[in-house]
Amino acid sequence: MTSPLDPQIAAALAPILEHAGDLTPPPAGDVEGRRTALNGMLSAINNLEPAAGDVRTTDYHLTTADGAELLLRWYTKDGAQPGSAVLYFHGGGMILGNVTMWDGPVSRIVSRSGVPFLSVEYRLAPEHPFPVPVEDGYAALQWLHAHAGALGVDPARIAVMGNSAGGGLAAALAILARDRGGPAIARQLLIFPMLDDRNTVADPYIAPYAAWSYDDNITAWQAILGEQAGGTDVPALAAPARITDATGLPPAYIEAGQLDIFRDEDLRYAIALSRDGVPVELHLYPGAPHEFDVIAYESDAARHAIAGRVRQLRSL
C-alpha cells in the first residue's frame, strides 16, 4: 500500500521514525515518561532548521494573582518597527515544553514577518490543571496591553497564536477575553490546535503517522481536566471544541494536517466559528502529520504554511 504521507515530508520524517522505532512509548497516563521521552525530541526537531540571526530577545516576568512568577520572552527583529504584536503559546499538550524549547520556531517567524512576539511560560498540568494555564494566558494578555506603549505596540493590533496545545490555549484565551469584555484580541492564529478532550479513539488511517499519539492525548487531557476529561461538564474555556456560541470571537486562521489526530476537531471548530459569523481562513495540508512544518521545513507544504502565517501576521 502506498504511504499517504506527502513524499517530501516522508523523506524528512524517515530518520525520526527509524529512531522512534527503537523506543517504547510510555503508557497512557504517564506524564513524567512523556516529559523524559518528548522534551528532548521536541527541542531537537524545533532546531532542525537554522536559527534566525536577526532576532533579539528580552525576558520579562509577570507575577500572577496567586503569586506565581511567569517568564515572558519578547522577540523583536533587528530594524523592524513594532506596531502589531503576537501573544504566543508553545505546544506540548500542556504537560511538557517551555519557552526556550520554542526559541527556534518563534525567532524564525519573527524574522520572516517582522512582527514581535511575546512567548508565555504558562504553568503545566498536572501540577497546574485547568483553569491555571488559560488564566496565565489571560494575565499575560493583560500585561501586554498594559505595556503596549512602552513596547511600541498598538493595543488594537494584538493577536494570539499557538501551535498544538498552545493553539488550544490561544483559542481558549480568545473565548475568555470575549466573555470578560477584553482586553481586545485582533486575531487568533491556531496552528494544528488541540481543542477536544473527547478525541481518544484512534483513527487507523492516522495512527501510524501520529507524532502526537492518541495515548499522548489521553494522558494530556486527563492531566489537564482530571476525572472531568471526556465528560459532559467540560467548559469551552478548557476544551474550545465544546463551544456552543462563537459569536464575537476574533477572526481565526486555522491550520490542520490530514494525518494529524487533531484534524477532525480543527475542521469542526472552523465550521463552528463560521456558523456564528466569525471570519475563518482554514488550511488542510494533505499527507501532513503533526509538526510537519518543523520536521520537513524545506517541503512545499511547510513553505506554504509558513507563507500563510507570515501573510496573516503582516496584515495585522
Render pLDDT for 53-82 as a digit per residue (tens, 0 to 9).
999 999 999 999 999 999 999 999 999 987
> Comparing C-alpha atoms, which of 287, 288, 246, 234 is closest to residue 270?
246
Average pLDDT value for the chain = 96
Is the per-residue pLDDT at 219 higher than 60? yes
Helices within the chain (DSSP H only): 7-20, 31-46, 103-113, 132-146, 148-151, 165-179, 214-225, 263-275, 292-295, 300-314
3 state DSSP class of 288: strand
20 confidence band (pLDDT: 50, 70, 90): low
Q: How far apart are CA 39 and CA 110, in angstroms?
A: 23
Which three three-digit cell numbers place residue 29? 497516563
3 state DSSP class of 247: coil
38-52, 178-192, 238-252: range with lowest mean pLDDT: 38-52
Q: Which fold has domain 7-314?
A: Rossmann fold (3.40.50)
Catalytic residues: 164, 260, 290
